[in-house]
Amino acid sequence: MSSLFRTDLKLLVLIGILIFSSSSFASDVAIKGYLVDVACSARRARKPEPPTVHSRLCMQMPSCNDSGYGILTQEKQFIKFDDDGNQKARKLLAETNQANDFKITVLGSMDGDKMKVSKIELQ
């Protein structure tokens, strides 16, 4: 089985779990990964290493900030946040002195192709 096929299969299973969890039980799920802005997400997902050097200053630049935020999972899946999640991410970035390596846990449920965020925690 090819590596690409296994990655695609993992992604489909994760999406299925998220959809099933949010629609069947209407409860939050916890997802671990890295906080990344939408503008940088595709480039960060293509890199083999985790985005530990993606900086707070980059994510707070107007073009990155305005694009919104999401979580990049270990499986290199990027899940966008809803508007409330974007505000929570902006608040987290504004209130921390941490320069980079934004490993997070997000609690929330899927709403279409976005995550309805109830909580973001730094790891």
- Predicted confidence (pLDDT) per residue in 75-123, tens digit: 999 999 999 999 999 999 999 999 999 999 999 999 999 999 999 999 9
Q: By three-state DSSP, how is residue 104 classified? A: strand
Quote the CA–CA distance of 36 and 42 in Å, as a whole number: 10
73 CB neighbour count, 10 Å cutoff: 18
- Predicted confidence (pLDDT) per residue in 25-44, tens digit: 457 899 999 999 999 999 99
To the question of pTM greater than 0.75 for the whole model, the response is yes
Quote the CA–CA distance of 38 and 82 in Å, as a whole number: 12
112: left (phi over 0), alpha (psi -120 to 50) or beta: left
Asked if 85 and 115 count as a contact pair (C-beta separation under 8 A), the reply is yes
